[in-house]
Amino acid sequence: MSELARGHTGFVPSLRRINALVYRHVYLLRSSGPRILELVYWPTVQMILWGFITVFLIGHSSWIAQASGVLLSGVLLWDVLFRGQLGVSLVFMEEMWSRNLGHLFVSPLRPFELGCALIVMSLIRTLIGVGGAALIAIPLFHYSIFNMGLPLLAFFLNLIIMGWSIGLLVSGIVLRYGLGAESMAWIAIFAVQPISGVYYPISTLPTWLQYLAALLPSSHVFEGMRAVLFDHSFRVDLLLHAVLLNALYLTAGFVSFLTFFRIARVRGQLLHVGE
């Protein structure tokens, strides 16, 4: 048998090497709960989300025509929440990917100050990303979300604060459990999308889910958005609910981040940021 046939030159695949690499990733997957969750998570969330959209539109076929841009407004405001959370999580994970956490915390930097810096960077990234998309929507779809006026500012602030809260929680989880949990940056935020009423009223949900939706600032914001677009009225009661819930959420986000940081420091995990 020639060397080529035996695979000595590397042109013929080695099943042994392939199996070794496959086993490596199977073992990694088996030992990582977040990775296994992610495999089932995305199809399930998409099925639930578009299932509720379908259920709602079946009985309200003319709903979109009653308020021009209601779906575009939902998409853009949802992106504020998504980018706000992702801005905190990704900036923090960039420090982990570059193995810079140890360098940061030999300086006088405090964990709370790091959290504040993450929030500022999230705001900058969100303004660039969502602001650009909103401007592009004007010539493409002849719709400007800025026509909402001052209510838009209230919606923006409440959604981005909720995003910061979730982002701080996710950053703490990744710090505590390593980069094997980095998929939480995408999983966490989409868990609340189906019950936030981004594209349909909260009344579309089953009754028991409506109670859960009432605990989310985002559900009150999107209900308020539809009140502005359909009824041309600003619901102060919904705004107050969102503000009060966000005060709790942001406090919980910082507390969880600082708690996970303290645990990671005690266990010496600040310099060990692998999986």
**Does the structure show a pLDDT above 80 at 48?**
no
169 touches 175 (CB < 8 A):
no
The DSSP code for 101 is: H
The pLDDT assigned to 241 comes to 96
pLDDT in tens, 107-149: 777 888 888 888 898 899 888 888 888 888 888 778 888 888 8
261 touches 111 (CB < 8 A):
yes
Domain ranges of the chain: 1-31, 33-266
**Whole-number average pLDDT of the chain:** 81
Task: Specify the pTM.
Answer: 0.79
Q: Which of 129, 67, 55, 117 is nearest to 88 (CA)?
A: 117
The pLDDT assigned to 3 comes to 47
What is the average pLDDT across 41-70?
65
The pLDDT assigned to 20 comes to 66
What is the average pLDDT across 229-237?
89
